[in-house]
Amino acid sequence: MNDNNPNRRLGIGTWLSSGSPVVAELASECGFDWLLLDMEHGCLTDAGLLASLQSAKRHNLNLIVRVGSFEPAVIARVLDWGASGIMLPHVSCAEQAKQCIKAMRYPPGGTRGYSGSARVFGYGLASALASREHVSPLFIPQIEDYEGVMNSEAIAAVDGVDILFVGPSDLQLALSTASEELSMPYQEALTRIAASAGRYGKQTGILVRNADDVLPLKKAGFSCLAIGSDIGFLKSGFLNAIQEGSRH
């Protein structure tokens, strides 16, 4: 498979949790480099995901789907529908990363079943797999606990891992509730993860809710940033409208 894809490095994206194909279409036209469609905590159903993938169709836009857990059948279906890559939550060791990559790839490098009539191949109208033009999907493991931080270098070393992505809420919760020997300061964890990714030429990513954090994170080595979410933008807009209306 050809992995020499200039779109394998992601820049500024955003999180889509509402499950609305209209929101996905709007976000796709706003200039983001990538969109995250969240099936772990978001409102996306299988049917909603397909509609969102169909709506967000700007050329060269990367559509990443976060699955809820490691389920090869779900991963294969999401990729068949046209997702650019998979984000897997709670990856704590290299073996978990290897298992997911295997489920994402066709033989001989993996176990994913092949159908030339899938949407990813234009329902049979696009180039077939035999043309060797197929690009391996992006794989983004999420580092969300102490074990994942400590194993981040081994995870980054796995062939097929593109980006180590921090889940800030889960990682901060895990580090704050663990015993002293299984914890560390959150900022130290971020430094470790970024260093591990950089050592193997991989990107480091994170979800950013506060715009003031963007510059410090970039300086710390984070180059793949998800800025806010559709739910967050809507909530802020609604609350601002109420505040503005109450002033008059």
**Domain architecture of the chain: domains with CATH:** 8-246 (3.20.20.60)
What count of residues does the chain have?
A: 248
Summarize pLDDT for 160-206 with one digit per residue, the tens.
Answer: 999 999 999 999 999 999 888 888 999 999 999 999 999 999 999 99
Provide the sign of the torsion angle of the four alpha carbons 77, 131, 135, 120, taken in this order: negative
Does the pLDDT at position 248 exceed 80? no
Which residues are catalytically annotated? 41
The contacts of residue 170 (CB under 8 Å, 6+ apart) are 89, 90, 142, 144, 145
CB 49 within 8 A of CB 36: no
How far is Cα 85 from Cα 227, in angstroms, rounded to an integer? Answer: 18
Q: What is the pTM of this model?
A: 0.93
Does the pLDDT at position 128 exceed 70? no
CA end-to-end span of the chain: 61
Does the pLDDT at position 90 exceed 50? yes
DSSP 51: H
Provide the sign of the torsion angle of the four alpha carbons 198, 111, 86, 3, taken in this order: positive
